[in-house]
Amino acid sequence: MEVGTGLYLMGLALAVGLGLPLAVIGAGLGQGRAVAGAMEGMARQPEMAGRIQTGMIIGLAFIESLVLFSFVIFFLLQGRLPTVSGQ
Amino acid sequence: MDGQLNALWVWTQTGIGAHVPPPVFSVLSGIATLALLLFALAATRNMQRRPGRLQNLAEITYEFFDNLAVSVVGEHGRKYVPLAGTVFLFILFSNLMGLIPPGIAPTASLNTTIALALIVIVYVQYEGIRARGLGGYLKHFARWGEVPVLLSPLLFVIEIVSELAKPVSLSIRLYANMFGKEQVTMALITALAMPIFKATFIPLPIQFPVMLLGLLVAFVQAFVFSILTLIYLALATEHHEEHHGEHAHAH
């Protein structure tokens, strides 16, 4: 195998393996902050809980969609990985 | 024989997400539409003053979206209830179809979700032009009168791009959620449940927690899609509403 091909496959494998977890870490931190803020708001003003919850769910969906974009890219990249016949 | 058995097993458990030809999704969407049509007919035929079960369910759903539309869009949001409610019911029913074992969710195909997002976005543009007129619609993109004149062309380009990003993010969010759920279910089955079954003949439902999560996701994503529809409609027609408010104030 050529060096270039090897480097390409290595980069591809790293991207497939690390891309999604990195996105998940970022989105997890972001969603944590969002939910913390919403909970604080609900605790301070229980009468607004319904509207805060609606807003929180929309915000969470927006943050989550970023992960899902990288999930789609993960699937596109995964299809380009060669299969290795075992042992 | 072994391969066929594997394929059959995976099919009965997940309905296979990956290699389904697109026409299957069209047929399934048709089934979902037909079921909703039958539900609507059954719920509204022979309506009573004291509602029965079906009519009650339909009324609760409608009232929920009526309240939601009024709180998001304002008083003129009532006429968007049919669109948002239909989108919600169709997506919810489609998502739930994926949870009954031999079924596939029609929304796990990008074709279905892009069609839904295009319907919504084209309607939003139509409503925006109707509420503001063609000139006001274009001025809204440039934020004319809200920002310095020199910034307007730049903002116009940015707003056009963000408007084009709306259908993309709407459709990919729904598709990736449903497709991801099916893929994770299938991965758990092929990697864990299937070897255990072949070795010990004990069919352990290892994918069950993911399918429970899928039940939650089915509701949340349907709700998110329809509330985003309402929010986009509110953004496209907000000037109109403002005008209305001033008008009412003047009286």
Size of interface A-B (CB pairs under 8 A): 33
Residue type, A54: T
Q: What is the mean pLDDT of residues A55-74?
A: 86
Q: What is the mean pLDDT of residues B116-141?
A: 89
Q: Quote the DSSP letter at residue A82.
A: P
pTM exceeding the 0.90 threshold for the entire prediction: no
3-state secondary structure A37-78: HHHHHHHHCHHHHHHHHHHHHHHHHHHHHHHHHHHHHHHHHH
The segment with the largest mean pLDDT, out of A14-18, B70-74, B89-93, B181-185, is B89-93
Tokens representing B86? Answer: 């239909």
* Chain segment B148-200, per-residue pLDDT in tens: 888 888 888 988 998 998 998 899 899 888 888 888 888 888 888 888 888 88
Q: In this structure, how many other beta carbons lie within 10 angstroms of the beta carbon of residue B135?
A: 10
Rg (CA), chain A: 20
What pLDDT is recorded for position B241? 46
User: In degrees to the nearest 10, what's the CA dihedral of B182, B187, B189, B190?
Assistant: 130
- To the nearest whole number, what is the mean pLDDT of chain B? 82
Q: Can you give the residue range of the structural domain that contains B222?
A: 2-46+53-250
What pLDDT is recorded for position B10? 54
Half-sphere exposure of B39 (CA within 13 A, CB side): 17
What pLDDT is recorded for position B245? 46
pLDDT at A24 over 80: yes
Confidence grade of residue B38 (pLDDT, cut at 50, 70, 90): very high
Residues B216-233 as b/e (b if ≥16 CB within 10 A, e otherwise) read ebbebbbbbbbbbbbebb
B195 min Cα distance to partner chain A (Å):
17
Tokens representing B185? Answer: 């279910």
Q: What is the mean pLDDT of residues B58-87?
A: 89
Confidence grade of residue A28 (pLDDT, cut at 50, 70, 90): very high
Q: What is the mean pLDDT of residues B119-134?
A: 91
User: Do residues B58 and B85 lie in contact, with contact meaning Cβ atoms separated by under 8 Å?
Assistant: no
Q: Do A61 and B172 touch (CB under 8 A)?
A: no
B70 min Cα distance to partner chain A (Å):
13
- To 5 degrees, how large is the angle CA B136–CA B140–CA B144? 95
CATH numbers and ranges of domains, chain A = 24-78 (1.20.20.10)
Tokens representing B93? Answer: 């029913």
User: Do residues B218 and B107 lie in contact, with contact meaning Cβ atoms separated by under 8 Å?
Assistant: no
What pLDDT is recorded for position B84? 92
Report the C-alpha gap between B2 and B6 in whole angstroms: 6
Name every chain A residue with its beta carbon within 8 A of the beta carbon of B177: 68
pLDDT at B249 over 50: no
Q: In this structure, how many other beta carbons lie within 10 angstroms of the beta carbon of residue B198?
A: 12
The answer to ipTM > 0.90 is no
User: In degrees to the nearest 10, what's the CA dihedral of B217, B11, B19, B224?
Assistant: -10
Report the C-alpha gap between B18 and B186 in whole angstroms: 9
Residues of A contacting chain B (CB within 8 angstroms): 51, 54, 57-58, 61, 64-65, 68-69, 71-72, 75
pLDDT at B16 over 70: no
User: Do residues B86 and B71 lie in contact, with contact meaning Cβ atoms separated by under 8 Å?
Assistant: no
Tokens representing A19? Answer: 């891309």
CA distances from B241 to A54, B21, B121 (A): 22, 45, 20
A63 min Cα distance to partner chain B (Å):
10
Structural domain tally of chain B? 1
Nearest CA in chain B to A79: B18
CA distances from A65 to A60, A72, B172, B176, B219 (A): 8, 10, 8, 8, 16
What pLDDT is recorded for position B92? 94
